[in-house]
Structure 1
Amino acid sequence: MQTIGLVGGMSWESTAVYYRDLNLGVQQRLGGLSSPKLVLSTVDFAELTALEDAERWPQIGDLLTAAARGVEQGGADFLLLCTTSFHKVADQIEAGVGIALLHLGDVVAEEVRSQGVTKVGFVGTTVAMSDGFFAERLARHGVETVMPDARHHEMLNSAIYDELVHGRVVDATRRRVLGVLEELWDAGVGGVLLGCTELELLVKQADAELPVYPCTTLHVNAALDRALAGAVSRR
């Protein structure tokens, strides 16, 4: 079993989902008392969001690269960022470590392409929706991304930062987000990416008529595939 490196804290709710699902995944796949080998470094979310508000992305990259080097030094074989938005500096982080970064965009693109989908909607933070970094990564794999109308960005960002990162799941917000998903469906997408870990606390496949892709779940499963290649079940 390989050791998975996690850079978390963006938010702690997001990191908790990664930690929980990696453990559940190993338990389901191997049975017995099996659990994943993990090295985790978390950052101060308040510090990062202040830098984000000031658009000081090189400094954000420096902080996350330092955290990534910590998990590398702790014995990680490969690296995951427990976030979508801060993949904006993924190239900087990858260049600063000697282990592979399992990029969320690559994982998601592979999954949707495997289902014959080449046009997806995306909901997430304002940064992830308005900046082209994630859509550009998907485009490398032949996947077109449609973002929600700009009038929805503030609501979606508020749902994440004012509610979900604090563990608040509000039914009225769910209904508003589902309305955005319906608009994207009408725009001709083959499914919608939940492009923020916390959104998976709010929206499930059972809530929507169109295909919904939970990016964190896909990221976790890809990490388990890589870490457990050749591992023997203890059931």
Structure 2
Amino acid sequence: MRPIGLIGGMSWESTAVYYRLLNERARERFGGLHSAEILLWSVDFARIERMQADGDWARAGEELAAIVRRLEAAGAGCIAICTNTMHKVAGEVAGAVRVPLVHIADATAAAVRHAGCKRPLLLATRYTMEQDFYRGRLAELGVDTAIPPEPARSEVHSVIYEELCRGQVRPESRARYVAAIKDAARAGADGVILGCTEIGLLIGPGDTDLPLFDTTALHADAILEAAITPLS
């Protein structure tokens, strides 16, 4: 297994889930006391969040590209960004190194297609729901997504930054998410993409009859697979 380079901390609440899942998957795959070899650079999310809010994606891309070069120099054999939203700068990150970047949208699209879903609901940050970097890549991979209308879209975004990224999981927020899912199902959605890596802390299979696609878990599976696949 090649060492895995993770850019985390966005937020650390979900990065901790990545760390657990990668090690659990490695133990399941290899048995015994095996675990994943991981190099983790965890950022101060307050600084990155300010860049997001200011629309300074160029600076954010430069910062993550600098980090990924350090991870490669330290021996990482594949790279992953532990957040959906910051895949807006995935091109800059991937272009900064020679080792492969495991893209979260690719893992998600593969799972949605395998399940036969045609139009899943995408729950995520406003950036991920509204901008083309994520939905566009899914569309290129054969997945057409729906997003909540206002005001539910703003509520979904707010819960992520004001609660989940701060370690707060509130029943009333779960109820709002479930209501958005039910509305989307009535409008024809046939699945739900948990398109922010924190949402799996709030929503689980017991909250809806629709197929759920937890991007954190799907990404972790793809990262481990990349780490054990020989480079061509």
Which range, TM-score by smaller chain?
A: over 0.9
How far residue 153 of structure 1 moved from its aligned partner, in angstroms, is 2.1
What is residue 13 of structure 2 aligned with on the other side?
13
The correspondence of residues 131-142 of structure 1 with structure 2, limited to 5 A, is 131-142=131-142
Residue 233 of structure 1 is matched in structure 2 by none
Report the residue type matching 1:175 in the other structure. A
Matching residue of 1:125: 125
Deviations 1:37-63 (A, max 9, x none): 111111111111111111111000001
Q: Distance in 1 between matches of 2:45 and 2:36?
A: 25
Aligned residue for 2:199? 199
Mapped pair 1:145 → 2:145:
yes
1:229 Cα deviation (Å)? Answer: 4.4
Distance 1:165 1:52 in 2: 15
> Once the two structures are superposed, what CA deviation does each residue of 1:10-67 show, in whole Å capped at 9, x if it has no partner?
0111111111111111122222110101111111111111111111110000011111
Kindly indicate whether residue 136 of structure 2 is the aligned counterpart of residue 110 of structure 1: no
Deviation string for 1:179-198 (max 9, x for gaps)?
11111212212201000111
Deviations 1:167-190 (CA, angstroms, capped at 9, x unpaired): 111011101101111112122122
Partner secondary structure for residue 100 of structure 1: coil
Structure 2: 5+ residue runs without aligned partners? Answer: none
For residue 26 of structure 1, what is the aligned residue in structure 2?
26
Q: Which runs of 5+ in 1 are unaligned?
A: 231-235
Extract structure 1 runs of 4+ deviating beyond 3 A.
Answer: none
Residue correspondences, number? 230
- Structure 1 partner of 2:71: 71
Find the counterpart in structure 1 of residue 89 from structure 2: 89
Deviations 1:61-109 (A, max 9, x none): 0011111111111111111100011111111111111111110111111
Matched residue SS, 1:150: coil
Aligned residue number for residue 223 of structure 2: 223
8 Å Cα contact 2:147/2:153 also seen in 1: no
Q: In the aligned structure 1, how far is the partner of 2:200 from the partner of 2:228?
A: 25
Q: What TM-score comes out, normalization by structure 2 length?
A: 0.95
Per mean C-alpha deviation after superposition, the further-off stretch among 24-33 and 83-92 is: 24-33
Please state whether the residue corresponding to 1:89 is helix, strand or coil: helix
Does structure 2 retain, via aligned residues, the 8 Å contact 1:41–1:70? no
TM-score (norm 1): 0.94
Partner Cα distance (1:47, 1:229) in 2: 34
- Separation in 1 of the partners of 2:220 and 2:73? 22
Identity %: 39
Query: Alpha-carbon deviations, 1:151-179, whole Å to 9, x = none?
Result: 11221112111111111110111011011
Q: Is the 8 A contact 1:169 1:201 kept in 2?
A: yes
Q: Is the 8 A contact 1:124 1:194 kept in 2?
A: yes
